[in-house]
Structure 1
Amino acid sequence: MTECEEASSRPATHGLKLERNATSPGNVTRSLILIAAALLVLASRDALAAPCQFESQGEGRVTAIIDGRSVRLDDGREVRLSGIEPTATTKQALASLLVGRDVTLRSADDTPDRYGRQGGLVFIGESDTPVQAKLLAQGEAIVSAEIADKDCAAALMSSEAEARRQKKGNWADLSAIKNAESPDDILAGIGRFVVVEGKVLSVRQAGAMTYLNFGRNWTRGFAVTISRRALPAFENAGVAIKSLENRRIRVRGWVEGNTGPRIDVLRAGQVELLSANEPTGVRP
């Protein structure tokens, strides 16, 4: 047999060995690990993605501060900052942050309000943190609880909570959070957006309205009212209204009422459950 014939008659073991190596258990395991790692990286990126990144509704340069939550852009548009209620210092803080700055407006809806203002979250330049969060972190604004997106709402609330803990800005004032046991103090703020803390003594149903009573005297004590149409929002949030009885809560909203102060709750985000260990924000 010639050398060529001998070579051609040998089994093609070399090529088979390479194929086996490519599909060997060790290589398959390494491939699966790499795939899993890639998926983990992608999942981590999604998990760490900045909240409040809604669809862009346009850009512009801020030329003027209209009031504590409204600005004017160089194209004439008026923008209302969603998600916050202003304090006495918000307008000045906005002027320091925004006048002459290029901003991007982001929101889930570009429908203007009844005053023709376009609402949304405002971002400076390439920042992924909304101006609202910066104001809240400085104690220069209060969360309004109007943002429906859970992650974004939680981020804004977290910024406010940190400012409260550090007693920054508005929260340096001991009366910034009202005591539910002082109804006259709350009633003095009628027509204003306030934050109240206290223990719910009873939950009562009257027609289409549910009352969270904080005082024994229902006509003069502070109470929270929740209409029937607002109840599904609490159910979706996993909160049974009756379970709020004998619980400490923090509630925010506009003060109404004549003999006794009331806050009408329209959104579940206006009510926060307070743990037994959470420091109270009310004044002594």
Structure 2
Amino acid sequence: MASSPRNSRWSLAAISAGAIVMTPIPADAGECADLPVQGDGVVTEVVDARTLRLADGREVRLAGLEPVAEQREAGAAYLRAAALGHRVVLHGADDMPDRYGRQPAYVVLKQGGELVQARLLAGGHALVGIGATSAECLQQLRAAEEAGRMAAAGVWVALDVIKNAANSGDILSRIGRFTIVEGKVTSVREVGSTVYLNLAGRWTRGFAVTISRRMVGVFEAAGLSPKSLTGQRIRVRGWIERRAGASIAARAVGQIERTGGD
């Protein structure tokens, strides 16, 4: 989805050792900060490219994004520069920790009021992940990611970050890895408890998006009825699986977006 962040300004984003690119990032925390406040604290450690530790011992996992393997070191360095030693405010639907005891949150810098996730996405150090709490927050994250792509920042220096659904061999090489795939839905089939969006001929030889039948109503409510996507060009993100062919299981509405075009 080609869109640009609202109220953007320019910031320095390190994309690799010794290389710097000017990348637009949001000047305010945006829609993700409209979620309820779930605490605050000073960042004393950057554990990895999406995990912070606060002075009170809490570990905070940055919600709504997926780190890029090739950018983990640069992403962690960027996160240290942006957040280490700074007070941050945590936003989210609740403060329930995950099974590892980490609190998922949208993290806003107290000084400057910027969303840390947006900085990482605009710098090309991460991709929009799965599970954004609201449609408005998801739109903000996608806009930051698109800003990074348009600036060829970080991972976006490469031209093949978004995989072509027609190139199943390339996609199969990424089994188990978080990947963005784009293509045209050629057919929609329902087999047992699963709906298949076929993006490259027969899914047994090409690529398909799978949706559990019990989730179809959720997609329909969001305007993404599987049958309505026939003939549409879409972008899907998730972990590559292999059944008969390559596939991504869509378990959340935010994984699929219409891109337009033929």
Band the TM-score falls in, shorter-chain normalisation: 0.7 to 0.9
Within 1, Cα distance between the matches of 2:258 and 2:246?
A: 20
| Inter-partner Cα distance in structure 1 for 2:77 and 2:176 | 22
Summarize deviations over 1:136-189 as a string: whole Å, max 9, x none. 112211111411312111111111112222222211211211110111111111
The alpha carbon displacement at 1:67 in A equals: 1.8
Is there any run of 5+ residues in structure 1 with no aligned partner, and where? 1-47, 278-284
| Residue 157, structure 1, aligned to residue 155, structure 2 | no
RMSD between superposed Cα atoms in Å: 1.8
**Alignment partner, residue 251 of structure 2:** 266
Residue from 55, 67, 80 that aligns with 2:48: 67
Instruction: Determine the structure 2 residue equivalent to 1:52.
Output: 32
Residue 112 of structure 2 corresponds to residue 112 of structure 1 = no
Structure 2 counterparts to residues 70-85 of structure 1, below 5 A: 70-85=51-66
CA offset at residue 50 of structure 1?
A: 3.3
Aligned to 1:227: 212
1:75-224 equivalences in 2 (<5 Å): 75-87=56-68, 88-89=70-71, 90-224=75-209
Q: Which has the higher helix share?
A: 1
Partners of 2:130 and 2:254 within 8 A in 1: yes
Q: Is 2:236 the counterpart of 1:255?
A: no
Local SS of the residue matching 2:254: helix
Residue 27 (structure 1) aligns with: none
* 2:250 equivalent to 1:244: no
Greater relative contact order structure (CA < 8 Å, 6+ sep): 2
**Which amino acid in 2 is paired with 1:51?**
E
Map 1:5-24 to 2 at 5 A. Answer: none
CA shift, 1:258, in A, is: 4.9
CA 1:114 to 1:49, structure 2 compared with 1: closer, same or farther past 3 Å? closer
* TM-score normalised to structure 1 length: 0.76
- State the SS of the aligned residue for 1:175: coil
Match of 2:12 in 1: none
More strand by share: 2
TM-score (norm 2): 0.83
Deviates more, 1:77-86 or 1:48-57: 48-57
Query: Unaligned 5+ residue runs, structure 2?
Result: 1-27
Runs of 4+ in structure 1 off by over 4 angstroms are none
Q: Which amino acid aligns with 1:190?
A: I
The 10-residue stretch of structure 1 (77-86 or 236-245) with the greater mean CA deviation from structure 2: 236-245
Deviations 1:75-95 (A, max 9, x none): 111110000000132222212
Query: SS at 2:248's partner residue?
Result: strand
3-state SS of 2:121 partner: helix
Aligned-residue offset at 1:49 = 9.3
State, as a whole percentage, how many aligned pairs show the same letter: 47
* Native 8 Å contact 1:50 1:128 kept in 2: no
Q: Which amino acid aligns with 2:37?
A: S
* Counterpart secondary structure, 1:254: strand
Encode CA deviations 1:76-126: one digit per residue, 9 max, x unaligned: 111100000001322222122122221111111111000000110011114
